[in-house]
Structure 1
Amino acid sequence: MSVYQGEKIKTYLSKNGVSVIEAAKKLGVARNTVYQYFRTDNLTREVVTNIVTKLNTTEEEIFGSSDNKSPVKRINQNARDLGDVTIYEEDGDNKFTEISPGRYRMGVDLVPVYAQAGYLTGYADKEYIEELPKHYITVDRFVRGKYMAFEISGDSMDNGDIKEAMPHGTIATGREVKRELWSSKLHNHQWPNWILVHKTEGIVAKQITKQCLETGTLTLRSLNPDKDRYPDFDIQIDDLVQIFNVVKRELQ
């Protein structure tokens, strides 16, 4: 008689970049129920059938075959099979994997639109971050650091006439600026777009047009040419909790 261990579901979801939030939605259960599955040593046949059906997979892929072979490894979204799908190095920086000479693949946590309301309180919560879906990008060079991806919502950064535009649905991957560098000039000559996590406004995607080091003020602008709807405005850098310089944009 087969024994279906819930820990293998957790491993399967992790390897395929599926968050607990996504899994719960697909399975039609609460997130706490998914966590209960992880802790169960012998899942019922009904639960197993629901999982393999709703996740469009097989028992062998999740739990292994009868001869104890490991499940088939699969990664979702736009990633290719890289073997070890850990997206962080031991020091916490994001991991780059060379896939061909001069080409590297990196995985990052993605904050989709539906998760952005909770990000302001969850950005420092390891469990919250682990539940986020993963996004993978390919680059021709890499700079070590901590990266994160955000789904752009709305049209404030939409301007089809310029290459920096980030229309609705764009996935913007940014490298986090360390807090000790906030008192210096934020350079934006190479990558002019920024993701700013504001204490009250939440996630804001803008360009920085001016920075006053004396007052700690940033002047932000939208790319949408309708300045009546999207005028420039000032914020205080002390009201931010995170700053990311956007290094790659992909329209889904």
Structure 2
Amino acid sequence: MADYQGEKFKEFLKTRNISVIKAAEMLGVSRNTVYQYFGSSSLTRETVINIITHFNTTEEEVFGIISKKPYENARIIGELPEENPENTRFIEISPGRYRMSVPLVEYQAKAGYLMEYADHTFIEELPRHEITVSKYHRGKYIAFEVDGDSMDDGTINSIPDGCIITCREIKRDLWQSKLHTHKYPNWVFVHRSKGVVVKQIKSQDLDTGVILLHSLNPNKDLYPDYEIHLDDVLQIFNVVKREF
């Protein structure tokens, strides 16, 4: 494998007048990770693919390396059209293995998301989060950064403060049926007054549209179960992956 000098990536950003903050947003990583790239003498192949894909460039332009197969084992699957209006992207990194990139709502952006969740431009400008998947998923996906410890009970089932959860939206026309809590025990509700909340579902009343939400944290004085009505809910997602 060829050595990919992080210093060359740093110089590439300078030539394009791209800040570290902007680079981190485009790559879907933290600023600290970008600085780690700068100091690396041998970036991983996956990182190189991520760089040349999201900056719409080539290995030669960034690293001075000419390759007959610019992406070698990686194949850009691209953006799904109608099923993924919020720009979910896939890159094949090996047969049957894909990097799935989705918009990320960081905890400080949750208030803005509540107002702009339907604005395509707002969603496009969000930073991105990537996970590895084994197939090409359809549907609308988004990731949220968790704040607070209401879903932390100290066990492997916790969703602790700072955790990134990747979620799939449940279409509104399916809300009239029972939400399947066995396969997906954790849910995100975008609520008009409570904001973006991560909870489990304790019970559902299909006749009244009332859902009883449950926090994993055993301190019920701080985190009691409470009811919401579907009329006050803007979006519902099930949590498909947690990353700590």
**TM-score with structure 2 length normalisation?**
0.69
Question: Conserved in 2, the CA contact under 8 Å of 1:104 and 1:140?
Answer: yes
* Residues 97 and 83 of structure 1: CA distance in aligned 2, closer, same or farther (over 3 Å): closer
CA distance in 1, matches of 2:105, 2:74: 22
CA distance in 1, matches of 2:135, 2:183: 14
Query: How many residues align structurally?
Result: 197
Question: Conserved in 1, the CA contact under 8 Å of 2:77 and 2:91?
Answer: no
Question: Conserved in 2, the CA contact under 8 Å of 1:164 and 1:192?
Answer: no
**Partner in structure 2 of residue 100 of structure 1:** 94
RMSD: 3.5
- Stretches of structure 2 that go unaligned for 5 or more consecutive residues are 1-15, 40-51, 64-72
Question: Conserved in 1, the CA contact under 8 Å of 2:77 and 2:90?
Answer: no
Q: Percent identity?
A: 49
Question: Conserved in 1, the CA contact under 8 Å of 2:202 and 2:213?
Answer: yes
Question: Conserved in 2, the CA contact under 8 Å of 1:104 and 1:141?
Answer: yes
| 1:123 is the counterpart of 2:117 | yes
**Partner in structure 1 of residue 168 of structure 2:** 175
SS of residue matched to 1:114: helix
The 5 A counterparts of 1:78-117 are 84=76, 88-93=79-84, 94-117=88-111
Question: Conserved in 1, the CA contact under 8 Å of 2:165 and 2:242?
Answer: yes
Deviations 1:127-168 (A, max 9, x none): 21122100000123454211000000000001122x321000
Q: Which amino acid aligns with 2:240?
A: V
**TM-score with structure 1 length normalisation?**
0.67
Aligned mate of 1:245, from 219, 238, 243: 238
TM-superposed CA distance for 1:217, in Å, is 0.5
**Partner in structure 1 of residue 228 of structure 2:** 235
* Residues 148 and 208 of structure 1: CA distance in aligned 2, closer, same or farther (over 3 Å): same
* Residues 155 and 64 of structure 1: CA distance in aligned 2, closer, same or farther (over 3 Å): closer
| 1:18 is the counterpart of 2:25 | yes
The 5 A counterparts of 1:197-216 are 197-216=190-209
Q: Which amino acid aligns with 1:90?
A: P
* Residues 168 and 63 of structure 1: CA distance in aligned 2, closer, same or farther (over 3 Å): closer
**Partner in structure 1 of residue 215 of structure 2:** 222
Deviations 1:39-90 (A, max 9, x none): xxxxxxxxxxxxxx9xx79xxx98989xxx7556xxxxxxxx957595x312
CA distance in 1, matches of 2:161, 2:227: 23
CA distance in 2, matches of 1:168, 1:123: 22
CA distance in 2, matches of 1:222, 1:121: 25
Question: Conserved in 1, the CA contact under 8 Å of 2:213 and 2:225?
Answer: yes
CA distance in 1, matches of 2:57, 2:207: 61
Question: Conserved in 1, the CA contact under 8 Å of 2:75 and 2:91?
Answer: no
Question: Conserved in 1, the CA contact under 8 Å of 2:76 and 2:92?
Answer: no
| 1:133 is the counterpart of 2:140 | no
- Stretches of structure 1 that go unaligned for 5 or more consecutive residues are 1-7, 26-52, 73-80
TM-superposed CA distance for 1:185, in Å, is 0.6
CA distance in 2, matches of 1:241, 1:168: 23
Q: Which amino acid aligns with 2:153?
A: N
